[in-house]
Structure formats: C-alpha cells, structure tokens
Structure 1
Amino acid sequence: MPLEQAQENNTTGFDVTRFKIIVIGVLAALAGLMSGLDIGVVAGALDFFAKRFHASTIVQEWVVSSMMAGAAVGALLAGWMAHAVGRKVSLIFGAAIFVIGSLGCALCWSIPSMIAFRVFMGLAVGISAFTAPLYLSEIASEESRGAMVSTYQLMVTVGIFLAFLSNTYFSYSGDWRWMFGVAAIPAAIFLVGVLFLPYSPRWLIMKGRHKEAREVLLSLRDDPLVAAQEIKAIRQQLQVKQHGFDLLKTNPNFRRSLALGVLLQIMQQLAGINIIMYYAPNILAHAGFDSTAQMWCTAIIGLVNMLATFIAVGLVDKWGRKPILYIGFAVMAGGMAALAMLLAHGMHTQSSQLLAVFLLLIFCTGFAMSAGPLMWVLCAEIQPMQGRNLGISISTLTNWLTNMVVGASFLSLMETLGASGTFWLFALLNASFIVFTWLFVPETKGMSLETIEKRLLSGVKLRNLGR
C-alpha cells in the first residue's frame, strides 16, 4: 500500500506523505502555540492585575516567574512521562492542564491564587517544551528534522503574537481576566487535535510494539525501503537501554553533550528575548509611549517575532545551524547596544521613540531566526539515545530555571542599573555567545542522530561532531 501510494503521488503531483507529515507536525507543534499564549498574555495583563490587587514590583516579578517555576517542574516530570506513557499521552496530559490553568488564571481571586494557577500552567508548558520537540524529531526524516523541530518554536511565536493581539483588544476595557481566559479555547482545540496524532515510532519500538511502529513509519515515508532502514537503525540504537544517570556517572562523553545542552539553553535565555516578551509595555513606557501605544507596539513586536521565525524554518536545513546562530547573535548584540545608547541619551522626540521600537524589532528578528528555534533543534540532536531523556530533561529544566531568573530579576535590574545599563548588559552577553558558538556548537545539518551519537561517544570534539 505505501508503494502504491507513492506511485499515486508521482502521477497526481500531490505528495500525500509529505502533506501528512506537515499536518502531524503542525498538530504537535500546537503545544508551542499554547506555550506562546501563556508567555505573551502576562505582558498585557500584568499592569491591570497589579492595579487590581495593589501588587508591588517584586510581587509582579513573582507573578511572571511563577510560570517558569512550574515549567521547570514540568520539564523534570516530562522525561519520565515521555518514557513511561509515551510522547503522545504526555502531550494529551499537557493539553488538559493548559485548559484548566487558563480558566484558573481567569477566575483567580487573589495574588496567591494567581501565582498558584500560573505554576499550574507552567507544568503544561514544561511538559510540552520537552515532549513536542522530542516527538517532532522522532517523526521527521533526516532531511526535514531541523524544519520540523523549528515548527515548535514558530508556533510559540504565533502564540505570543496572538496573545499580544488579544491583550491589545481587551486593554481598552482593562479586562485582564479575559486576557487569560481566551487561551482556554485554543487549548481545548489542541487537546482534541493531539488525540489524532500517531505514536512516536521510536517509543513504540522501545515498548516492543514493532508492528505498530512499522505501520507508522510506512505511513510517514515515501519509500518502504527507507522506512525499513530507519526501523533497523532504531532497533540497533535501542539495544542499549536508557541509563541516563549511570551514563552521567560513567561516561565523560555524555557529560560533554549534557553540558552543551545546558549551555545552549542558558545562551538562549540570557540573550534577553523574554525581557521583551514579559515586559515590553514597561520597556516602552521608559521610551515615552502612552498605554495604548505600548500595547499596539507590543503586538507589532509579536508579529515580527513570529514572521522572523519563518527564516529559521526555511533556512535551518539549507544554511546549517551555526551560520544562522552567528548572524542571530550579532544582530541581537547590535540591537541591544544601539537601544542602550538611545536610552542613555533620552528619547524626547517621536523619531527617537520610533527608533527604539525599530531596534526592539531588530532584536526580536535576530532571536526568532536563530537562538529561538535552533537551540531546541540542537538539544534534540546532540544527546545519545541511552541518556536522551535525561539529557533533554536537564537542558529543558535549565531553560526554564534561567528563564525564571531573568523574569524574576528584570524589573529590579532596571531599577538598579537603569534602562541603559540593563540593555548594555544583554548586548555584551549576546556578543560573548558568538564566541561560545564558535568554540562549542557543532554543525549537525543533514546528519542522522545515529551518526552524531557515534561521533560523540568516540570522543570527537563537540564543535566537530557534525560536518
């Protein structure tokens, strides 16, 4: 049947298999949409919520960072869940929590209740951030893996943009409860969509369900021979069972890949994107914008962040990972430095205010085309199978812990260093990440996960693992 289907594709000119993979990829990546909605909504709702409950600066930072604390716990749980009950069931569980958490934030009655439901939503975000890229990397072919995993980050940016648009709409009435509540609608759609996803063929083989795995792969590959070879490679790889903690203690090569995964996630978060996503209205207030203009400019930032992610999706499997990272970090460093200088001199004219928005857009473009999606791609690629669940769990945990630190300290940094000094700090960090990319990051374009693992475990330097 798969061969007949492939022949039909050739005669009709419509690639059914490719279309099916795209649909599956988009459905799985809707986890990113929900994460983006949760990240973006707080930027618009925070000021209204703070006024309603008389929240101090520190309390506002707690409200923002509480989601990341929950996400860190979710990332730890996700590794066990993805192995025990599978990638698909983990996504279903995360989707259900998204629905409950969104409604809880909308109906909260106090600051502690808001923080509690934000933590609850964070659980879903952490589970999804671990499981969705893992699932996508296992469904995709070698040629499309980078683009498929990048789709997750693309959907995060779509979610952020939609949240910013929703925030702008409800800002006229100041109804922060609806800002949170509307996220329950796409969460319910996501929950239904995930039910129709196939199981990961790798997980099925891990559980001894070889016939089901073969059926899934035959439906996702044009050539039955390719599917058979992939099944064989997965079986060979899985002969060594998951022993992440034992591998961590005994294998220095695994410790190297684990350390790289941690470094990549620290680099992504310290680049500074989430200070824009969480606090864009506050930053724009320093630039002299009134409340209405703050919300519309924030929505524009979300739109550019979303559109720029298409650059990564389109180029990651053509240009490779490292060239795009070089460009992205250089653009982010330049944008932050220019904004720091502008803030230092003050913005007293409309042209200087518009320039500030333009520089924020430049920064977001640099991030969305590079570190945003590519760190997830690389973290899914560099971990050996024996310790893959542990490796991705720890790197995802690192992402959310660093995210929490940034979210919980930015307003205080602005008060201590001033707006200009804070942005100079992030400019210097991005410049240093160019050096870190050159020193440690491998180019994995077009390489199978099995080849990357063999080179890692044979002691090849991290930067030389790929091409």
Structure 2
Amino acid sequence: MSCPESREPERKAPGLNARLVFAICAAAIGSGFQHGYNIGVVNAPGKLIQQWINVTDYARSDYAEVPTEASITWIWSVAVSVYCIGGMIGGSLTGFFAEKFGRKGGLIVNNIFAMIGAILEGFAYSARSYEMLIAGRIFIGINCGLNAGLAPMYLSEISPVNLRGAVGTVYQLVLTISILISQILGMENIMGTEVLWPYLLAFTAVPILYQVPALMLCPESPKYILITKGRVKDAEKVLNWLRGTLDVKDEMTDMSAEFESQKATAGTGLREMWTDPSLKSPLIIAVMMQLAQQLSGINAVMFFSTAIFEDAGLSTITSQYATLGMGVMNVLMTFVSMVLIEKAGRKTLQLVGLSGMLFVVILLTVFLAIKDMAPWIPYISIVLVIAFVVAFATGPGSIPWFLVTELFNQSARPLATSISVTVNWTANFFVGIGFLPLAQLLGPYVFVIFAVLLIVFICFTVNHVPETKNKTIEEISAMFKPPSDLPSL
C-alpha cells in the first residue's frame, strides 16, 4: 500500500521547467501581445488620426471641398471596426491552420499577417492613404483572430494536466499587459503625438522578431504529432523535451488512449458538431462562454470609463492615469486568476467573476443615474468601474479562451476552436457597432441590458458548465456521452 502512495505525487504533478516555460513564453508573448496591443493602440491617438484623415481627404480634393464631420467619423469607425472583421476571418481559419501547419507551425505562419498589417499601418501616414490604415487593421485582425485560437490550443496541448488551466491563462495575462503597454505608449508625452503615432501602430511588428525565432526552437504539440500525424516515437521525444525527463509513460498512455479512441471514430465536421450529442453539448458551452465574455458589458464599461472619470472632475491627463490604473488592476487580477485557477477551478472562478460583474453593474447603473445629486457620487462610480474590471479578470476574461481546448478531443478541437473564436469576434463586433446608439438612447440604463445577460450566463454556468480541473480529455469527453454510450459496469 505504501509504494503506490510514494509514487503518486510524481505521477500526478509534473511541474514547470526551463524548456516548458520557454515554449509557453514563445507561444503566448508574441500572440497575446498582438491581440491586446491592437485592441488598445488606436484609442489614445484617435483624435490625431481623425485629423490626419481630414487633412488627407481635403488634400485629395485639391483643397476644394472640406470633408464633413460625418464622413471623417465614418472612415474612422471603419478603420476601428474592421479589426473585429479581420478577427472573425482569422477565427474561422483556426481549424484549417491548426491541421494544415500544426499548432506551432500555424503560429509561425500567422506572423505573415502581422507583418503585412504593421507595414501597411506604419506607412499609411507617409503614403497619405487611410485605405492602407484600414487594410492594415484587417490584416492585423486576421492575425489576432488566429492567435486567439492557435495559442491557447498549443499552450493546452503542451501542458501537463495539473497546470493546464494556469498555462492557458498566460495568454490572457499577456493580452492585458499589452493593452496596458499600448495605453502607456499612446500617452501624449510618449508616442501619442502627431509625428509618432504611425510608429505607435507599426510597433506591432516588434513581437514578430521575438516569436518566430523562439518558436522555431520549440517542438510541435505532442498531441498533434501523435494523434493527428500518428508518430508515436516523435511525440514521446517531444514530451521528454517538454518535461525534462524520460519518465513520460503516464502522459503517453493518456494520449495513446485518445489516439485509439479517435481512430475508432469518423472525422469531425460541422454536421457531426451539431448532430452528435457528445460534441453538440460542449460546443454550446464553448460558444456561451465566449458570448459571456463579450456580452458581459466589459467593453461598455471601458467606453464609459473616460466619461465617468471626467464627471468626477479629473483632468484629461489625470483621466489617462486613472485609465492606466484600471489597466494595472486588470493585469494584477489576471495574474491572481492564473494562480488560483488550479485550486479553485474553472467553473468557480467563472461564477465568481460573472456574479461580481452583475453586482457591480447594478450599482453602477444606480450611481450613474443619480450622479448629479451629490459631488461625491462620481467618485463611487470610479471605484465601481475598477471593481467591474477586477471581476472580469477573475475568470470571464481568460477562461473562455482555453476551456474550449479542454472540452474537445484532438479531432474536434480545431473546428470547435474555430467556431467559438469566430463567435467571440462576431459578438465583439456587434457590441462595438451597437453599443453607442443604445447608450445614446438609454443613457446609464444601457447597463440593465448587460445585467439581464449576466443573469442568463450565470444560470447557464451553474446548470451546464462542468468542472474540467485535473481531468484528462477521456474523462471530460465521458461527461457528454449519452448514457447508452457509456460502458456497463
């Protein structure tokens, strides 16, 4: 009895080592940085870019026709929103890239889109072409859409089961750090100037210089090598490299079981996704988790934050620093989530985050509605905005990205990731397009919509989302099999 107990800690808890950390950083830093940086980079220099569009359009008419404010606003809106359209395209291509080039290979090839985007955005100013800026935003959006699917997939497949959630959260951690970096670099006294904003946009090329050579030193996903390519010995060598040990028998056994299970089933297509109950249920869960992230109101609160800070009497520069403070809290809480996720579990943190956001959004609606009744009320709103970001970072910000990779086996994972990531970017696009008109119509009561949606997502999570912590893919897949498919005891 004592022998199995003495071996158990080594078996169930492989830890981090230098090679695994290097592979995690290679995949997450370049990918997560592109995603987060390009979310925030256009916010600070937005007015400067609109002025440049105005001057460019005026010059094209030989200074005969002054552009209207509506036309400039339209061009700028297109330049901002096409990023999400690019994300939809990239998300839909995730399955193809993951199978055609591999997880690591797909990330390397994807940098082509980032480089094209950086060149177009960086040279748009000197070429006096806002069309280049728009095209650059589309290409960088494609890159980020693919990153959002490929990077969490690679991170999940190279991680030991006991670290899978924490490693999956690294992508969101890098994303939040890069948003903060874009906010810092975009400040007026750094790169948010009329001369430097093109370089601010072109800065997105820098992570490419790190990620491509770093990934070339890393192995492909061992699951991709074994289950998709069928190369058992090569998969074992990769696991030896990632774990820093020759003792990988347990993990190879689990992967081999998944390999044998996959060989006994037909390929997974869209039809199977919607007709096979063991695939349909996890797909609905993955999609709902992505919708919970984008329809939770996080982008709306971010949008309102500037107005809330100004209502509190903060100056423009002080408001910028308050926004940076919000970004810092986002980073810190994402790091806390990464630490807690293997202890508390995915479902628990998701529920804590969504419930906290619901509580805060109700209070925020009330305080925004009565903000003129007392001078101290806007300051309460500032606290609530930060609290909302903290709740979001606790779970809903990171969990949806990697949970989809935990819910599906190797054959279904690429397609499921494509669908869920595309849904995420589509929801992001519609929130971006529809929120401002709704806010103008409803004012602070627009948050009531998000409160109702949060209640729906909380109920769904309680009733339908399983806990995947420390479970193998075989154990997770068994949760969704109809009773008739389960082996008799």
Name the TM-score class by shorter chain. 0.7 to 0.9
The correspondence of residues 148-187 of structure 1 with structure 2, limited to 5 A, is 148-168=167-187, 169-170=189-190, 173-174=193-194, 175-187=196-208
Secondary structure of 2:17's counterpart equals helix
CA drift of 1:229 comes to: 1.8
Instruction: Tell me the amino acid that sits aligned with residue 53 of structure 2.
Output: F
Q: Residues 36 and 158 of structure 1 are in contact (CA less than 8 Å); yes or no, is this contact kept in structure 2?
A: yes
Q: What is the one-letter code of the residue matched to 2:193?
A: S
Distance in 1, matches of 2:286 and 2:362, equals 27
Q: Aligned-residue CA RMSD in angstroms?
A: 2.5
Code of the aligned partner of 2:32: G
Does 1:117 find its partner at 2:136?
yes
1:432 aligned residue: 456
1:43 lines up with 2:64 in the alignment: no
1:104 aligns with 2:120: yes
**Superposed CA offset, 1:222-279 (max 9, x none):** 4332243234234223313532224135413322222221111111100122335567
Q: Establish whether residue 262 from structure 1 lines up as the match of residue 287 from structure 2.
A: yes
C-alpha separation in 1, matches of 2:113 and 2:133: 15
Give the equivalent residue in structure 2 for 1:305. 330
Q: Residues 115 and 139 (structure 1 numbering): CA distance in 2 closer, same or farther, change over 3 Å?
A: same
Q: Which amino acid aligns with 1:66?
A: V
Cα drift, residue 396 of structure 1: 0.6
3-state SS, counterpart of residue 372 of structure 1: coil
Work out the CA distance in 2 between the residues paired with 1:411 and 1:377: 30
Q: What TM-score results when the alignment is normalised by the length of structure 2?
A: 0.84
Counterpart in the other structure of 2:63: none
Indicate how the Cα distance of structure 1 residues 119 and 276 shifts in structure 2: closer, same or farther if over 3 A, else same.
farther
* Pair 406,355 (structure 1): closer, same or farther in 2 beyond 3 Å: same
1:43 counterpart SS class: coil
**Which secondary structure state, in structure 1, belongs to the residue aligned with residue 469 of structure 2?**
coil
Q: Which amino acid is 1:243 matched to?
A: T
Identity percentage of aligned residues: 30
Q: Which amino acid aligns with 1:428?
A: V
- In 2, are the aligned partners of 1:64 and 1:407 still within 8 Å (CA)? no
What SS class does the counterpart of residue 218 from structure 2 fall into?
coil
Q: Pick the structure with greater CA Rg.
A: 2
For 2:108, the equivalent position in structure 1 comes to: 92
Aligned to 1:423, which of 447, 465, 476? 447
- Secondary structure at the aligned position of 1:342 is classed as helix
User: Which whole-Å CA distance do the structure 2 matches of 1:349 and 1:112 have between them?
Assistant: 47
CA deviations on 1:323-381 (whole Å, 9 max, x unpaired) are 21121112112222222222222358774444332211111111111101111232111
Range with bigger deviation, 48-57 or 336-345? 48-57
| TM-score, normalised with respect to structure 1 | 0.88
Q: Is the 8 A contact 1:43 1:279 kept in 2?
A: no
Structure 1's 352 and 179: CA in aligned 2 closer, same or farther, altered over 3 A? farther
**2:158 is aligned with 1:139:** yes
8 Å contact kept, 1:75–1:129: yes
1:444 partnered with 2:468: yes
Farther off after superposition, 189-198 or 363-372:
189-198
Q: Which moved more, 1:301-310 or 1:279-288?
A: 279-288
Question: Does the 8 A contact of 1:170 with 1:176 survive in 2?
Answer: no
Query: What amino acid maps onto 2:446 in structure 1?
Result: T
Q: Secondary structure at the match of 1:199?
A: coil
1:465 equivalent in structure 2: none
Matched, 1:194 2:215: yes
1:69 pairs with 2:90: no
Give the Cα–Cα distance (whole angstroms) in 2 for the partners of residues 47 and 415 of structure 1.
Answer: 20
Q: How many residues align?
A: 446
Deviations 1:276-301 (A, max 9, x none): 55675456456554432232222111
Structure 1: distance between partners of 2:324 and 2:116: 26
